[in-house]
Structure 1
């Protein structure tokens, strides 16, 4: 399975399963659901292996909103407030 996944970088995970033996069938449905609900494609470009520009812009915006003192780093207090706010 590794050569196949290396060739097609957009594949996130590979799982061996068997519907006949009921082996890892639940896992297949879990990962299929995750791929639909939380797709990675809008934020990550598989060809370049980098985050997409709009994702980078969004992350920079979130960081700038959390960096209250404007020093370019999140202090423990700023990071704590971010965690509480997004939890």
Structure 2
């Protein structure tokens, strides 16, 4: 991944440094499994987008800026599901 997706790898490294590797690794594993976490850099993907993200991607490829990124814990994600 690091060779094909250096910007994504750099971003994940920064998250690990800021929030702790265990927290980020756990969140990424869960997100990769349920589709809430996936990465795209150029033509390379890691993970599979969930249904909502996939439909957005089909309608138009889009980039992500720093202000559009949201980092949340499993508890925060669960709370959002309850409110939805």
Q: TM-score, normalised by structure 1?
A: 0.31
Q: TM-score, normalised by structure 2?
A: 0.32
Higher RCO (CA 8 Å, separation ≥ 6 residues) = 2
